[in-house]
Amino acid sequence: MRHFQKVLVANRGEIAIRICRACTELGIRTVAVYTEEDKLALHRYKADEAYYIGEGLGAVEAYLNIPSLIRVAQETECDAIHPGYGFLSESEELARACQEAGITFIGPRIEHLQMFGDKVKARQVAKAAGVPIVPGTDGPVSKEEASAFAQKVGYPVMLKAVSGGGGRGMRLVHSQEELYEAYDRASSEAKSAFGAAEVYIEKYVQRPKHIEVQILGDHHGKLVHLYERDCSIQRRHQKVVEIAPSSLPEPTRAAICNAAVQLMKHAGYVNAGTVEFLLQPDGQFFFIEVNPRIQVEHTITELITGIDLVQAQIRIAEGHRLDDSEIGIHGQESITTRGVAIQCRVTTEDPQNGFLPDTGRITTYRSAAGFGIRLDTGNGYTGARVLPYYDSLLVKVSAFALNFEQAARKMFRALQEFRIRGVKTNIPFLANVVRHPEFLAGQCTVHFIEEHPELLS
Ligand code: ADP
């Protein structure tokens, strides 16, 4: 067992700040890194120390530069590196470089990053664990193999990049005529985004909900779930609004949570991870992928369970058992949920202009607040500059109440309370979502946004 004195946060924005807060509460000192573009970014000032890593590198590349991150960690005598989400969070190379440098990578083992960074391998693991997977190919396919598979299961089908993520490298194909061109596009998108052109093919699941299960596992063989989130409100396969727990019937919820635990126990998973499923209207569900890291939407699980996931990640990485006093999870039965939490991702995107990212200086930033509202922001303040280089996430607003309807009303109230000027945001769109009858009925599928163009006005 180690006790971390200092942790390097290899990220920026809200998640870097979130991690610093978790460390500070645990009495661990924090080291931030920043680029030229981020020299005024808040994450720099929320850490105990901050170092410039941009020398000769681009705004994004600097955060991906493993040697410079390791060098800063060593020079500042950090015990561990927390990668957050995005950037190097799923990087085997970073985990390996940490190991070689004697620094703890706060995340799963290297083998899990390998297993789940490759969606085809992940499907094999799920299958071996007895968890249902979307009918699909066992490995990467050629154009001809893709065509043969599609003819066998019937269109539509989904072409997916083996190393895909963030909704990229994915193509819905309706017919044989579209297949070859879609294949080329998916493959070249995969090559440029992930450096690997391989694609595989899955049957297209009709009108699903996206349901995912939060998992925590320790290094001593104990693993639990922290219930599920409904992340069906998506745009271009990316999540926009998330709800925890879902409004599923109890037997379906239990079956999905148990399947997630079964898979992750089979994999011997360690630390925080999420198992994602597509749920059909008939109650059948299929595994799609595992995200071996903390996720953007972890906040709502924290609100309903009372468990600080980032602190649990740190304690697990130190070698603590889930059931020791530092983490305090005494078996699955000790985890209960209370109420409902909803998260909205407020972005600097203009819903009336195809969600085009907006940039510039925030001239007014008046935040929502009040009972049951949690805010996680990177650079939400008057005078901040929204830069074109990074993700357009401005602030995550999470609302917690005793039931879903109250949480939705609280969210609407909070969204109304924001005053953000100088850059466009998606707040008017989000306010429409959380008041929509279909949303309030808990019935949204992943098609909700595309089926309701009135949400944009
Ligand atoms: P990524 O890793 O890029 O986030 P996922 O595999 O998690 O990709 O899928 C993201 C979203 O894409 C899902 O939530 C769902 O909306 C859609 N999707 C993925 N696979 C399928 C499929 N086989 N059928 C229908 N929709 C799918």
pLDDT above 90 coverage of the chain, percent = 96
Would you place residue 15 in the very low, low, confident or very high pLDDT band (cuts 50, 70, 90)? Answer: very high
Query: Per the omega criterion (within 30 degrees of 0), is the bond before 140 cis?
Result: no
Best CA proximity match to 14, nearest among 203, 284, 229, 294: 294
- Give the residues across from 201 on adjacent strands: 159
* Tokens at 23, concatenated: 């460390």
Could you read off the pLDDT of 173-191 as tens digits, one per residue?
999 999 999 999 999 999 9
Measured from the Cβ of residue 403, the count of other Cβ atoms closer than 10 Å reads 9
Could you read off the pLDDT of 293-350 as tens digits, one per residue?
999 999 999 999 999 999 999 999 999 999 999 999 999 999 999 999 999 999 999 9
Determine whether the shortest distance from the Cβ of 134 to ligand 1 is under 6 A. yes
pLDDT of residue 336: 97
pTM of the model: 0.97
* Tokens at 340, concatenated: 């409902």
State ipTM: 0.97
Task: Flag whether pLDDT at 457 surpasses 90.
Answer: no
Which of 121, 229, 237 to mutate for ligand 1's pocket (most ligand atoms within 8 Å of CB)? 237
Task: Flag whether pLDDT at 166 surpasses 90.
Answer: no
Task: Flag whether pLDDT at 290 surpasses 90.
Answer: yes
119 in a labelled binding site: yes
pLDDT of residue 332: 98
Determine whether the shortest distance from the Cβ of 210 to ligand 1 is under 6 A. yes
Distance of CA 362 from the midpoint of ligand 1 (Å):
34
How large is the average pLDDT for residues 251-262?
A: 98
Strands 209-217 and 223-235: what pairing?
antiparallel
Q: Which atom of ligand 1 is nearest to the CA of 276?
A: 7
Which helix (H) or strand (E) element contains residue 9? strand 6-9
Give the torsion sign (CA, 274, 210, 437, 296): positive
How large is the average pLDDT for residues 129-141?
A: 96
Distance of CA 83 from the midpoint of ligand 1 (Å):
24
- 129 SS3 class: coil
Task: Flag whether pLDDT at 35 surpasses 90.
Answer: yes
pLDDT of residue 273: 98
Examine the residue annotation and report whether 293 is marked as an active-site residue of this protein.
Answer: yes
Amino acid identity, position 237: H
Task: Flag whether pLDDT at 379 surpasses 90.
Answer: yes
Could you read off the pLDDT of 406-415 as tens digits, one per residue?
999 999 999 9
pLDDT of residue 165: 87
Task: Flag whether pLDDT at 164 surpasses 90.
Answer: no
Q: Where are the alpha helices (DSSP H) in 157-297?
A: 176-194, 250-267
pLDDT of residue 169: 85
Could you read off the pLDDT of 317-331 as tens digits, one per residue?
999 999 999 999 999
pLDDT of residue 167: 82
Distance of CA 171 from the midpoint of ligand 1 (Å):
10
436 in a labelled binding site: no
Amino acid identity, position 29: R
pLDDT of residue 376: 98
Number of residues that make up the chain: 457
Determine whether the shortest distance from the Cβ of 289 to ligand 1 is under 6 A. yes
Query: Packing angle between helix 176-194 and helix 143-153, nearest 10 degrees?
Result: 130
Bigger pLDDT: 457 vs 247: 247
202 in a labelled binding site: yes
Q: Are 161 and 117 in contact (CB under 8 A)?
A: no
CA dihedral 108, 109, 115, 119 (to 10 degrees): 30
CA dihedral 112, 171, 134, 91 (to 10 degrees): 0
Which of 134, 173, 278 to mutate for ligand 1's pocket (most ligand atoms within 8 Å of CB)? 278
* Tokens at 288, concatenated: 């799609």
Q: Which atom of ligand 1 is nearest to the CA of 446?
A: 16
